Structures are given as structure tokens and as C-alpha cells.
Amino acid sequence: MAKIINVIKGTKDILPQDVNMWQMMEKNALEVFSRYGYKEIRTPIFEATELFARGVGDTTDIVNKEMYTFEKSDRSLTLRPENTAGVVRSFIENGMARLSAPVKLWYKGPMFRYERPQAGRQRQFHQVGCEMFGIKQPAADAEVILMAVNYLKSLGLNDLEVEINSLGCPTCREEYKNKIKEVLKPEFDNLCEDCQNRYEKNPLRLLDCKVDSCKEIFEKPEIKAVIQSDFICEECAEHYKELKSYLDKLNVKYVENKLLVRGLDYYNRTVFEIKSNNLGSQNAVCGGGRYDSLVRNLGGDDVPAVGWAMGMERLYSLLEKQTPEKLDAFIVSNSTAEAFSLAEELRTQGLNIEFDLSNKKFTKQLEKAGKVSDLALILGEDEIVVGKVSVKNLLTSEQISVDRCNVFEYIKGV
Ligand code: ATP
Ligand code: MG
């Protein structure tokens, strides 16, 4: 036999038995985002490497360690590790700055990062995300956070935690960076290797470090005092305050976290993450923030922007834990033709229905029903003659007789 070729480490098939939930995530994205005036954009999966070096930032892990880069015809190309840079490129290239603000774009699709595969971390993974261009006021930040929360709610995910922080603007952040460096200087040799490397280039990233010995250092009172200090300038503070007051008004619960700095270089002012307690150590489902200088840095006009991205694999594992997906009902009958027509009647009304296509014994069909649904619709010879269906609740074993023409209403009422 020929040698089997396996899927590449860190990538996964999405199999037919799992695809329903993926389709639901995509369908709800379209529905919820459309309500907020977003239009979908589909950009290429590979771009010029320089786009990510400039757009994501060359001090980031993504650019330094995680990119899939290859040469073709003397050009350096990279599989997209995230999609904000690609969307901004397209925004600039297609003159979208001329459109009336805000320009609201969303996307979904695969991203590629060369990371160590583990639970919640793949090398090809999927994101759904949004970007809003042209509004600098904090109402835009509040709206994108609210939309993320409402998207999660549409999937039945109600109890996730929103964390927010403000990174200030490049001016006020500079001072904060210097203070952090100063207070950490005596501890330099005790920091992990990554933190030592980031110390000069990107000192704020240290605060994000997950290594226990570094976390302990940040807990030392004199260091913690600097980290927790209010460093942002008056204008940034006002922006942050307004954002919080919108979130309060909109009943979006949030926690402020001064250690939340996010991995990417381009954020200013608002940053946020949405986390779940059900995901183990890779617990962030959504990350985002404001990036007012990115469009300009990539050669466009001065256009403020704010957006976020959600990891769909992590969403999937939350949904999977939540409820096993079941059919609305399974039809049990010795008459394939009768089962067929009842199934079709109910399917055209929007229900998910299956029946036995292979004429198995009645008891086998009932067994199968119990595995795939909470309801069996029994169409025995007696029922067929009198135009009834026996509806059996497979959880309680209760059974009642319903007129065939009322089955849909009965199921919807269950
Ligand atoms: P993390 O701290 O988990 O590495 P990140 O800051 O690198 O996250 P972002 O670039 O903000 O992540 O991406 C947004 C979301 O995409 C994350 O919150 C996460 O849900 C998901 N994500 C990021 N990297 C991966 C990956 N390698 N595999 C699966 N999902 C991922
Ligand atoms: Mg990462």
C-alpha cells in the first residue's frame, strides 16, 4: 500500500460532523455585523512581507518568529498572520478614505502563524474580525466592543469577561515606557530571555509576560506602583473615560486591566480583550483596539481606526462545551415514503429533521433517535391511518398524539 500522507502539524480538517457550528459562526457574523452597517471584505491570503513588517511591527513575536515567509520571483511573500494589515492595505489602495466615514469592514478566514501547536493554538487558525475607519471619538470604540459582545451573545456565549485598558498616545506612552524601564533596570538579570530582548525595543510588552518569575517581579510594590500609575495625558484620559461611560450606559460589563498591552505595535489608546474561564491557558477569544497611526504608516492618509479579531477555533471549543448539537426531531417509521414526506414538510418550515433511510427495525430507529435528538416523531401504521403522529420526548419518555398538521407548532413549542 502507498504511504499515507498526513495533515501538517498545527493544522486541522474541519470535518462534516463539525461544520454546522462553523457555518453558524459565519452566519451569525454576517447577521450581527450587518445590523451595525458592516460590509464583508475578502483580501488575499498572502501579501508582501513588508506589509506585515511595517503593519504589525518588527518588534512583535508575529513578525520576528511566527511568519510563514517564502520567496517567489525575487519577491518576499508571507501568508497572512492576521488581517488588519491586509484590510488597511486594501482600504488605502482602493481609495476608501474618500468614502463617507465611518467605513466599516469585516472579514473571516484562515490566518497562519508558526507557533508551538497546543490546545487553543494552531498554525493555521481562523479569525472573524472587524475594522472601523474614520472615527476618532470613543463612541466608535464602544460600538465595536458592543458588537463583539452581541456577536458572542448571538452564539449563546453570555458570560465572557471584557477587559479594557488605555495605552495612551505615542507621546504620553513614551514617558511611561521610560519609567517602566527605569524601575525594572535593577531586575534586568532576573527577567526571562524574551523580556530581556524586549526591554529596549518594546518595554510595554514585558507587562504581558506569562512567565511566573516575571509576573512575581511585576508584583513587587515599587514596580507595581509604576505599572499601575496613571500615566496617560489629559486628552487620552478623557477618551478613556468617555469609552467607559458609554460601556456603562450600554450595560457592557468590563474589568480594567493595566497589564493588558496586547502583542501588536500599532495600538494606541483603547485596547481590549474578551476572555473565557473555560479555555485553560489560551483564554482570550477576542483581542482588539484602536490604531490611529496605522493607515498613515502604511502610506495612506491620517485616518483613525479601531477593530478586533476573534479566534474561531477558541469560539468553537466554547460552543462545543456548551451544547451538543441535536436535530429538532428524528422520525421513526416503517414507511420510508411517509417519513420522507413528513421530514420534507418540517424541513421546509426550517426544522432540522432526519429519518432512517435504510429501513432498519423500529427499535433500532428509536435507539438512533435517542442519540441524535430529544424528540422522536413516531409514524406507525396506526398513526398514518388516522393522520396523527406520536411525539415521544426521549428525555422523559412521555408520549403524546398530535395531529400531523400540528406537528410543527408542537415542536416549536417544546
Ligand atoms: P495570544 O495571546 O492568545 O497569542 P494574540 O494576541 O497573539 O493572542 P491576536 O493576534 O490578537 O492574538 O488574535 C486575536 C485572537 O485570535 C486571539 O484572541 C485568539 O482567540 C486567536 N488566535 C491567535 N493566535 C492563534 C493561534 N495560533 N491559534 C488559534 N487561535 C489564535
Ligand atoms: Mg500570539
Identify the CATH number of the domain in which residue 374 sits. Answer: 3.40.50.800
361 CA from centroid of ligand 2 (Å): 53
Are 32 and 60 part of one and the same domain? yes
Q: Please tell me if the CB atom of residue 122 comes closer than 6 angstroms to any atom of ligand 1.
A: yes
pLDDT for 222 equals 87
Q: Which atom of ligand 1 is nearest to the CA of 208?
A: 2
Cell numbers for 226, please give them. Answer: 509604576
Ligand nearest 263 Cα, by number?
Answer: 1
DSSP code of residue 209: -
CA distance 181 to 255: 26
Cell numbers for 44, please give them. Answer: 488575499
- Note down pLDDT in tens along the chain; length 414 residues: 999 999 999 999 999 989 999 999 999 999 999 999 999 999 999 999 999 999 998 888 899 899 999 999 999 999 999 999 999 999 999 999 999 999 999 999 999 999 999 989 999 999 999 999 999 999 999 999 999 999 999 999 988 999 999 999 988 888 888 888 998 899 899 989 888 888 888 888 888 888 888 988 988 888 888 888 888 999 999 999 999 999 999 999 999 999 898 877 679 999 999 999 888 878 899 999 999 999 999 999 999 999 999 999 999 999 988 766 789 999 999 999 999 999 999 999 999 999 999 989 999 999 999 999 999 999 999 999 999 999 999 999 999 999 999 999 999 886
CA distance 94 to 96: 6
81 within domain boundaries: yes
What pTM does this model have? 0.81
Residue 17 Cα to chain centre, angstroms: 21
Q: Which of 298, 318, 338 is the last residue of a domain?
A: 318
82 within domain boundaries: yes
224 within domain boundaries: no
203 within domain boundaries: no
pLDDT for 402 equals 95
Q: Indicate which residue's Cα is closest to atom 30 of ligand 1.
A: 311
Residue type, 366: L
280 CA from centroid of ligand 1 (Å): 14
CA distance 247 to 280: 27
Q: Please tell me if the CB atom of residue 285 comes closer than 6 angstroms to any atom of ligand 1.
A: yes
pLDDT for 323 equals 63
Are 254 and 334 part of one and the same domain? no
Q: Which of 275, 294, 318 is the last residue of a domain?
A: 318
Q: Which of 318, 347, 365 is the last residue of a domain?
A: 318
340 within domain boundaries: yes
Are 312 and 343 part of one and the same domain? no
138 CA from centroid of ligand 2 (Å): 26
Q: Please tell me if the CB atom of residue 291 comes closer than 6 angstroms to any atom of ligand 1.
A: no
Are 362 and 313 part of one and the same domain? no
pLDDT for 61 equals 85
182 CA from centroid of ligand 1 (Å): 30
Residue type, 147: M
Are 307 and 338 part of one and the same domain? no
Residue type, 255: V
Residues 309 and 151 sit within 8 Å (Cβ to Cβ): no
Backbone angles phi, psi at 226, to 5 degrees: -70, -45
278 within domain boundaries: yes
Which residue out of 66, 84, 125 has the highest number of ligand 1 atoms within 8 Å of its CB and is therefore the one to mutate? 125
Are 248 and 339 part of one and the same domain? no
Are 163 and 255 part of one and the same domain? yes
84 CA from centroid of ligand 2 (Å): 15
Q: Please tell me if the CB atom of residue 338 comes closer than 6 angstroms to any atom of ligand 1.
A: no
Are 306 and 340 part of one and the same domain? no
Q: Please tell me if the CB atom of residue 148 comes closer than 6 angstroms to any atom of ligand 1.
A: no
DSSP string, 336-378: HHHHHHHHHHHHHTT--EEE-SS---HHHHHHHHHHHBSEEEE
Helix (H) or strand (E) run with residue 65 in it: helix 61-65
Are 246 and 122 part of one and the same domain? yes
154 CA from centroid of ligand 2 (Å): 26
Residue with cell 497572512: 80
DSSP code of residue 108: E
Supply the CATH number for residue 256's domain.
3.30.930.10
Residue 275 Cα to chain centre, angstroms: 10
CA distance 345 to 12: 37
Q: Which residues contact 205 (CB under 8 A, 6 or more apart)?
A: 59, 198, 261, 263
DSSP code of residue 58: T
94 within domain boundaries: yes
pLDDT for 324 equals 65
Which residue out of 270, 310, 312, 319 has the highest number of ligand 1 atoms within 8 Å of its CB and is therefore the one to mutate? 310
Q: Please tell me if the CB atom of residue 284 comes closer than 6 angstroms to any atom of ligand 1.
A: yes
Are 146 and 246 part of one and the same domain? yes
Q: Which residues contact 324 (CB under 8 A, 6 or more apart)?
A: none
5 within domain boundaries: no
DSSP string, 127-158: EEEEEEES--SHHHHHHHHHHHHHHHHHTT--
Domain that holds residue 336: 329-413
Are 288 and 381 part of one and the same domain? no
| Bridge partners for 129 per DSSP | 107, 309
